[in-house]
Structure formats: C-alpha cells, structure tokens
Structure 1
Amino acid sequence: MIEFPAFRAAAVQAAPVFLDTPATIDKARALIATAAAEGAELIAFPEVFVSAYPYWNWTMNPVEGGRWFERIYRSAIDVPGPEVDVLCEAARAAGAHIVIGANERDPNSTGTLYNSVLTIGSDGTLLGVHRKLMPTWAEKLTWGRGDGSSIRVHETSIGRLGALACGENTNPLARFALLAQGEQVHVANYIALPVAPHDYDMVEAIKLRAAAHSFEGKVFTVVACSAITDEIVERVAHDDDSRELLRRKHCAFSGVFGPDGRLITSPLVDNEGIVYADIDLAASISAKQMHDVVGHYNRFDVFQLLLDTTPANGLIKTGDVASSRGAESFTSDSPVSAVLPS
C-alpha cells in the first residue's frame, strides 16, 4: 500500500571547493551533519557539487577553455568509488537520504564525463545514479549524454523519490516519466548561472519550473542550487568582462514547493545556506482529486509516453571466445553495428 510519510527536507545552496574533490567531499559531509542535526531526513545538494561546474564553456572559446577539461576530468569521480563510499557513510551516519550532483567519469573512456545525480538511501546504500540526458547549450563541450535507464523513481522510507538535473526540469517528457512511476518527492538540482543572457533571470526560471512540476504532478519539489564564490570567479575569469559577468546577482535560488505549486520555505537567493521544510506527503491526496495527470485526468488511449530504459552501450560482445572456431564476434549499437567474420 502506498505510504504518506511526513519528514523534514533540507535544500543546500552552496559552492564546491572549486576542482578540489577531497575538500568538497569534506564540505558535503559537514553540511550533511548540519542538516541532520536540524532533523532533515532528505538533504538535497546542487548540480555537480562534486566539484565544479564548467563556467569556462560560457566565457571562453573552445580552444581557450580546452585546457580546463583535463582539470575537471581529474577532479571527477568514479561511480562506484571511494568518494561515493564516503558520501554513503555520511548518509548512513546522518540517517538521511542524500541527493547530490557530481562529475562522473565514463568507466571506459578518458574523454567523456557525465553530469550525474547520485541518490543515496538513509542506510548508506547507493540507490541510483542519473546521468543528465542532454547537456544544455555550452555544456556539450564538457559532458556526454545519459540514457533512459536512469529515469527512475526510488522507493524510500520518505516516499517515492525522483531527481533531474537543471535544464532537464524544462523537459515535460522527462518529468512525466518520473510522475508516471509514482513520484511523490522531486529533487531538482541546479547551478548558479550568472553567465546566462542578460534578459534571462535564473531565479525566476528555477521557480517557474519547480512550481510547474509540483502543481502539475501534485508533488513536493526540493530545489538545491549552487552558489558563486570569489574563488570561482578568480579561477575562471580571464578578463574584466568575464569577471563582471560571473559576479552577476540573482542567479541562484533554493527552496521547497508544495503540491499546489506554492513555495513553502523562505527563498534563498545567491548566498550560501540551507533552507528547511516540513513535508507531509498526504497533502497530495486531495490535490490529485482535481488533477491527476498520471491517472484519472489523462487519456492514455490518446496519449502515451514511450520510455526506453535500455542502457546505452557502444560495444556488445556475442559468441563464445573459447569455442573451437577460435572466433570472437562483436556488435556495436552506436554508431554502426558490425560483426567480425569468423
């Protein structure tokens, strides 16, 4: 039977220790302990909190910014890996569910990174790793694309928990795929975006997307956004124009939205901090009587969404290498399928 627990959620708005993974992991551990001491059973961290967002993609041309790729690659983590183990232990010690963004290295390539979101259970179990499906705009210079295998909702003691990274929360199909799996609590993690076009207000954009998902799905949305520090500005800025751009205000927002789409916390804008909300999942029941887009308020004979959960794999081995014919066959589903003759 579906459960409707009540619990406290924490949205962390903080900056990583830029490109310093051990120091950022230590900072995450301290923030987890702080939030847990306030009774938080869900602690959400920003996008790629471990341990850098590639701001240089927005302020330099690809040749100028290329030298930064090795730096972010070296600071990225393996999943599973020792940094994940530390975060899992921190979650277990705190008795809290953790959702945190990280740069993840592709296990088979030294040239591909993923913008990943790790979901960790309160017992310290790594529940899932979601790779951002489509890097946004300039982000394509740094990250590869995820696949549908990680568009998943996790059954937890605080309800059915889903997560998407930054611009994915603009994708109605990705959001619906989570709602259709019974999502009750949604984590949307973002980066502070001072480098957006001058007429783009990141704070209002985040609020609009979070309110829409909560209102449409009748779910709680926990928004956790990063912050910009002087350290990041001085490391990434290469001239006065880029320095001024990176110091732009009103570029980060964190908070929690209820199933009616309303903000239920004080807004946290730009500065580092933690906001808390007491969540009662039963509040979604009466709201869904009016609009249940994954149930009675839809027409699945008219509309259907196909979610392909097949993991992307560039190499599929077939055949028996130990066979008497001594042949090994390979197929590849991307970009070309081929079988070597025996």
Structure 2
Amino acid sequence: MISYQVRAFGEPLARAQTPTPAPEGGQVLLRVLAAGVCHTDIHTWEGSYDLGGDKRLRMQQRGVTLPLTLGHEIVGEVVATGPDVPEHVRSGQRYLVYPWIGCGECKVCRRGRENLCAAPRFLGIFRPGGYSDHVVAPHARYLVDIGDLRPEQAAPYACSGLTTYSAIRKIPQDVLAEESVVVIGAGGLGLMCVTLLRALGCGNVVMVEPDGARRGAALAAGAHAAVDAGAPDAAAQVRQAAGAVWAVIDCVGAASTVQRGMDLLTKGGQLILVGLFGGELSLSPALVPMRAISIEGAYIGNLDELKALMALVRDRKPRAIPTTCRCLDGAQSALADLAAGRVVGRLILGPDADPSSRAVPATLEQASPPCN
C-alpha cells in the first residue's frame, strides 16, 4: 500500500510503502478512487490552528499523532470485507466514506452525533485517511451510496458539502425561503455552500470574495451577485444585492471576515461560522442582545446528515463545484497550491489522474475528467 504521510509537522509529505491491511470484524477495505484536498489538511500538515494573539492550538493537544496519512474526503471501491460485514456490501461497489467517526461508546456517539465526540477517531486526522491507494472504513455503516456520481464529484460532499449543509440547516426555513443569504469566501467550502443553498430553496445568494476568478466561479455555481471583498463600498454593495441581511455563512473564519459578517447583519440576524482561518477579534457583549443577533459555529456534520445530503444531491442535482484531478504522488504540490491560494474549487487526488485537467461544470452531468 502506498501512502503519503505527515512525518513531521510542516515538513514535506513522505511516501510510505506498507502492507495493505486485511479487514477484520466489521471493517471494509476500499481502494481509494478520489480524495479531496481540504484546508483542514493544511492545518493538520502545518501542525496547528491560529487562535490569535500569538496563541496556537497544536495538533498534539488535539491528540493527533504521527506519522499520519491525511485525507478525509474519500470515495473508494470495496476490495475486501471483514467477516462481520453485511452481505449487501460487496467487492466493486463504490462509496463515499463518512470520516467523522467517534469513539462509538459515549452518550454523544449513541445520540448519533459522532462528529462532536470528545475522543474522536476521524479519518485523515486521528487515523489513516485517503492520501493513499487504500483506506480502511472501521464499519460498513460509514459507507454512503454515491449513486451515479463520479468519485471526484462525490468526494467533497464528505466535508465541504456536509459542513455547509449542516450550517444551512441551522437557518430557519422561512428565512431561507424569503430572505437573502450572504456567503463569505468562495473557496471549495464557499462554492459548495452556494450550490446547496440553491438546492435547498434560497432565492438569493450573495457571495463576498476578494479574488476575481473565485467570484466568477461563485456566479457559475449559482450566486446571484458576487461582491469584491476589497472594494471600499463592499458593505453597501452587499446590502444593495441582498437587502436586509438575515443570515451570513462565513466560510473563511478569519477575524476580519467574522467582523464583516457581524457588521452586515440586520437586527435579529444570524452569523454561522464554518471556516477555521483563525485570529481573534473584540466583541461588545452589550451589542449582541441589543441587536438580537446570534453567532453560531457549525462543525462538520453527523452521519444521518451526510445520508440526507446525498439523497438531496441525487434528487435535486445541484451544480457541481469545479474540480481538478491530480495523481496521488502530487499530494504535496496540491497542499502547497491550496495554501498559496492558487486553487479554484477542489483539488482531488486520484490513482490515474491527469494533472492538467480542469473543468467548471454547470451540472452534475457536466463533470470534470475522472481521476481513475
């Protein structure tokens, strides 16, 4: 088995060749067909999150140990199963792997909210992930049907799709149906947010993004307006396009974008944070109740939400975000390009990808070239 591992935080990924594991009990071994490259991978590779004021949250503090194979947006093909796996899971079937696995024993996990477990065992963070030619799913229940989606289309739904879907579901249905939603940041997360907002019935999505190419991608994904975050009158442009701002989803999570989101909200508005860029900001507590605003975090999502999301994708066929496929041995350059802001949409690692291929599809039927 070939994997690309973090051996030391901040150092180039190391190629590792190890025996391909044999699944035991309820485990399923899958050949990796597509693995998305996410900003969480960058934080994990670098070894910390920025908390502002020269404070860092170190990966060791979270329980991350090395060596580690990154990658949590995974689609794979079943190649072997443990003796306790149900018969309906057979070799050759393709699945999206739910990566946000908990301990399975605590009351949070028993409630079906493994993503909030205090002792997480997430794929690609606490156990080997998808920057490999094979991955082990610890139980068949974590395998989610992708229907007729290509692997590179389906993979991002495990993180960017699930995270934004969970965030959108926090918005009251009447607000979603009757008001505009402002999305800050048109990276892979933000573009996914736009497509799912449209699929869930939002009539007016306004993107705020400094990069021109990404603003164009947001419009192609279904945004009704895309405002240059660096424009002197950006706030006025947003309000002109959106009217009263009742909901903002911040897909960046930097101090400046959080402040911008709070400033945009009308009385009674809602700011949902999903990005993890970091930093710190000052907050006047008195203004929160006086303005009746709410500030809420959305941390990935649970297994039932991923199943509901994939059912939504099959039913309503939202526009696919741009994807670029690269070979697995391009994992390090993919991380570097994402960290440097040179990516529009999602980079996908696959076994036989064409590194030069890129597509900006309008629908699920117009997908980028396959990674395999």
- Give the alignment's TM-score, normalised by structure 1: 0.27
Which one has a bigger Cα radius of gyration?
A: 1
If the length of structure 2 is used for normalisation, what is the TM-score? 0.25
